[in-house]
Amino acid sequence: MSLPADSFYDDMASSYHLIFDDWEQAIERQRAILARLLPSPDRIGTVLDCACGIGTQALGLARAGYDVEGTDLSKLEIERASREAVKRNLKIQFRVDDMRLLATCEAHRYGAIVAFDNAIPHLDSDEDVARAFAAMRRSLRRGGQIFISLRDYSALMVQRPSVMPPAMFMDNGLRRIVHQIWDWHDDRRYSVHLHITRQTSDLDWQSKHFVGRYRAITPDEIASHASKAGLDNVRVLSPAATGYYQPIVTASTA
């Protein structure tokens, strides 16, 4: 079983950190936000990051004292996340797994499951989203919580933008520009062309281009899926409430 995200993130594994202004600072920002939402490490038990990528959330949580495991569909991103943990002397078990199955995850094990940075919209149908929630619910222990962040697609599905505004960052005095082109295929599905352009000297530039697919889904629709999966205390937390750049949907088991 595979998703279009497989090759997207395999291709991006060595460059993923470049989409952030400063990846180390992003790790710390996300750690601080998640730590405010989560119970303390001694109360929560093991946290599963089921869309861990190269480790942006998992690394920060482990550094804060949480017992963390990370899974992702991209083998190359799992390999990089493992290397990043070793570099930081952090003990995190990373595995290749599909969030629709969580086949490598023990039932009723986790105090929290995290899927951040718009991972859920890689799932191509409501059926896939329902399967992911069923897998998460099975993996949560009693009283466990989920935390899912995603773009607020409510207006975007109406506007159907073709480009996201570019962001420019500085790396030791050299410019780095990140922008996205969106090709819409229907009311929900679109391909994203992610471009990372880096200045390597006064005269030279280097460009990389990655292509992925998404299916737009709103935070309220995600909340509805959580309720249908039998989760309780479902809430949509706004960026104003959490300080995070995307809405966060949270829910728990009874």
For 198-247, the three-class secondary structure string (H helix, E strand, C coil) is EECCCCCEEEEEEEEEEECCCHHHHHHHHHHCCCEEEEEECHHHHCCCCC
Which of 89, 77, 75, 63 is CA-nearest to residue 15? Answer: 77
Superfamily, domain 5-152+217-252: Vaccinia Virus protein VP39 (3.40.50.150)
Coil, strand or helix at 90? coil
Q: Please, where are the H alpha helices in 13-90?
A: 23-37, 41-44, 56-63, 75-87
pLDDT digits (tens, 9 = 90+) for 94-112: 999 999 999 999 999 999 9
Return all residues near 7 (Cβ < 8 A) that are at least 6 apart. none
pLDDT digits (tens, 9 = 90+) for 44-65: 999 999 999 999 999 999 999 9
The answer to whether residue 76 scores a pLDDT higher than 90 is yes
pLDDT digits (tens, 9 = 90+) for 167-184: 999 999 999 999 999 999
Return all residues near 205 (Cβ < 8 A) that are at least 6 apart. 197, 198, 199
The whole-number pLDDT of residue 7 equals 84
pTM, rounded to two decimals: 0.95
